[in-house]
Structure 1
Amino acid sequence: MKIVVTGSLGHISKPLTQELVQKGHSVTVISRKAERIKAIETLGAQAAIGTMEDVGFLTTAFNGADVVYVMEALAYGSFFDKNLDFIEANTQMGLNYKQAIDQSGVKQVVHLSSIGAHTNKGTGILKFHYNVENILKELPDNVAIKFMRPVGFYYNMYQYIQSIKTQGAIIQNYGGDEKEPWVSPLDIAAVIAEEIELPFEGRKIRNIASDEVSPNEIAGTLGEAIGKPDLKWFVISDEQMLSGLKATGMNPKTAQGFVKMNAARRTGTLYQDYYKNKPAFGKVKLADFAKEFAVVFNQE
């Protein structure tokens, strides 16, 4: 099949491209950066250089594809752009995808959504996933769409490194012994590759997870990996969390979105649909990720 992959050579798109090429598919990878062309071609794929904001470019890139895999990915540093409305910018990207899919005539779409996309209430920064899912659902009925909803990515734990090094603890506005799901991008890529080769019909939602662990278990596992077996996870108030994120230079509205997202983890709102449609776990466990975490921790 001819498959178009957005997301350049990111954490999901690169292993996805590798697997699809290995399975004999013709893959085109969309990237913003021309300097990625060689790396993309080395994987056995073709490169299409342009932006998600350019509907004409997207339409041309999608033309003739059997399947397109779309995800919202803003440029690095967008969290700190004081002039950017993060939810609005990602929602606009969904509108661009919808227009390009419609104009190109693509009939099979895989969309990287997220846990929390089941509601537009109380999920903070994740609200744009709800928005984009509903935008894509406006496409004609003969366009089959698979919405992939992964849970929190392991690599988001890299944000804990700074507080571990400066304050000797993981500090968030949620915590405790309640288990929550996490996922590896490798497991997400594997599920997407699987879905691309399964029949497309109507609209499908699939949750994706690798493991379930509590915040306190995360502190223990990461602590062991970095040689700090007594590492603790401390819970602070929403107000303290918001103040801390603003102090790093994060866009205040974006910071509020992160705080609300974590609050949704604390109340369970974020996981309502997940526990109703709980998936089989992938292969990569927290203990596996902890080894990678330790390498990055010791490099910084």
Structure 2
Amino acid sequence: MKITITGSLGNIGQRLTSQLTAKGHEVTVISHSPERAAAITALQAIPAIGQVNDPAFLQRAFAGADAVFTMIPPHYTDVINYMKTVGDHYATAIAAAGVKYVVNLSAIGAHLPDGPGPTKGNYYVEQQLNALPGVHVLHLRPGMFYTNFFGAIPMIMHQHIIGNNFGADVKMVLSHPRDIADAAADALDSLSFSGKSVRYVAGDEKNGAEIADILGRAVNQPALSWITFPDEALLQGMVKSGMSEEMAKVYMIEIGVALREGGLFDDYRRNESDAYGSIRLEDFAGEFAGAYASHA
């Protein structure tokens, strides 16, 4: 089959591309960076260099595809409007190209029309794709990426703490990019989904105290503790570390508030028995320890 993948060769895209080309599919990978073309070609895939907010480019990249994998790349300003704009362009290009199968990377919480952080953008994108007649769409909804914990390495190393703006007893649904790539690869290879459907990708569920314990022991800091930061203190810390204020508010502060208030996982709770994912936090801890050692 001919499959087009958005998202370049990131944590998900590289593994997804490798799996699909190994199974004999003709894969086109969209990237905004010309420097990625050689790496894409090395995976036996076809590079398509352009911007996902360019409707004409997207239609060319989707032309002839039996299936596409859609995801919204990170954007540092006007986050929600950017997500909505790219979602509109994806829907238009899919319809114009006559694509019949779509695997869309969404996120937990996307059942909420006016949810916190990026969830409202994911909700909008899901609805635009669901409105396409005759197109089979599978939305993958992961939780928090394990790899986000890499950003806490300097704090753990120098301050011997880890934390967020919610308490140590608050649970998080956790997902590894490898599980997400595998779920997408299985779906795109088999095209066994029909209509409009959702599948959660979750390898584990842990609270802050458990995360501190598991990651702390992995890096020889068994006394590592989870600290609850006030919203404003966390925001200023993220900005000082280089994150834009808007990104910090959307992806960190608002999600943290939703976690401590509850409701973000309601739809997941109704469907968690069908969730895809096998990588637990204890499995990721070894990967985390390797990254930690490289910072020393």
Q: What TM-score bracket applies, with the shorter chain setting the length? A: over 0.9
Q: For residues 111 and 186 of structure 1, what CA distance do their matches in structure 2 show?
A: 16
Q: For residues 11 and 153 of structure 1, what CA distance do their matches in structure 2 show?
A: 10
Q: Match of 2:253?
A: 259
Question: Aligned AA for 2:245?
Answer: P
SS in 2 for 1:146: strand
Q: For residues 114 and 59 of structure 2, what CA distance do their matches in structure 1 show?
A: 32
1:9-20 aligned at under 5 Å gives the runs 9-20=9-20
- TM-score computed with the length of structure 1 as normaliser: 0.92
Question: Aligned AA for 1:71?
Answer: M
Closer, same or farther in 2 for the Cα pair 1:56/1:265, shift >3 Å? same
Q: CA deviation at 1:202?
A: 1.4
Counterpart check, 1:126 vs 2:119: yes
The C-alpha deviation readout for 1:181-212, integer Å capped at 9, x for no partner, is 20111111111112221334210111111112
Q: Match of 1:275?
A: 269
Counterpart check, 1:217 vs 2:187: no
Q: CA deviation at 1:52?
A: 0.5
Closer, same or farther in 2 for the Cα pair 1:122/1:61, shift >3 Å? closer
Counterpart check, 1:42 vs 2:34: no
Q: CA deviation at 1:159?
A: 1.7
Q: CA deviation at 1:281?
A: 5.0
The C-alpha deviation readout for 1:214-236, integer Å capped at 9, x for no partner, is 21111111111111111011112
Q: Match of 1:238?
A: 231
Partner residue of 1:284 out of 275, 279, 283: 279
1:150-161 aligned at under 5 Å gives the runs 150-161=142-153
Question: Do the aligned partners of 2:51 and 2:57 also contact (CA within 8 Å) in 1?
Answer: yes
SS in 2 for 1:109: strand
Question: Do the aligned partners of 2:101 and 2:191 also contact (CA within 8 Å) in 1?
Answer: no
Q: CA deviation at 1:122?
A: 4.0
The C-alpha deviation readout for 1:75-110, integer Å capped at 9, x for no partner, is xxx44xxxx211111221111111111111112111
**Percentage of matched positions with identical amino acids:** 42
Q: Match of 1:95?
A: 88
Deviates more, 1:196-205 or 1:86-95: 196-205
- TM-score computed with the length of structure 2 as normaliser: 0.93
Q: Match of 1:138?
A: 131
Question: Aligned AA for 1:182?
Answer: L
Partner residue of 2:177 out of 185, 198, 208: 185
Q: Match of 2:201?
A: 208
Q: Match of 1:295?
A: 290
Q: For residues 252 and 185 of structure 1, what CA distance do their matches in structure 2 show?
A: 25
SS in 2 for 1:17: helix
Question: Aligned AA for 1:271?
Answer: F
Q: For residues 118 and 132 of structure 1, what CA distance do their matches in structure 2 show?
A: 11
Q: CA deviation at 1:121?
A: 3.1
The C-alpha deviation readout for 1:51-96, integer Å capped at 9, x for no partner, is 101111110111111001110003xxx44xxxx2111112211111
Give the gaps of 5 or more residues in structure 1: none
Question: Do the aligned partners of 1:169 and 1:233 also contact (CA within 8 Å) in 2?
Answer: yes
Question: Aligned AA for 2:292?
Answer: F
SS in 2 for 1:161: helix
Counterpart check, 1:148 vs 2:140: yes
Alpha carbon RMSD of aligned pairs, Å? 1.6
Question: Aligned AA for 1:296?
Answer: A
SS in 2 for 1:114: coil
Counterpart check, 1:174 vs 2:166: yes
Partner residue of 1:117 out of 110, 115, 122: 110
Paired residues in the alignment total 292
Q: Match of 1:108?
A: 101
Question: Do the aligned partners of 2:112 and 2:119 also contact (CA within 8 Å) in 1?
Answer: no
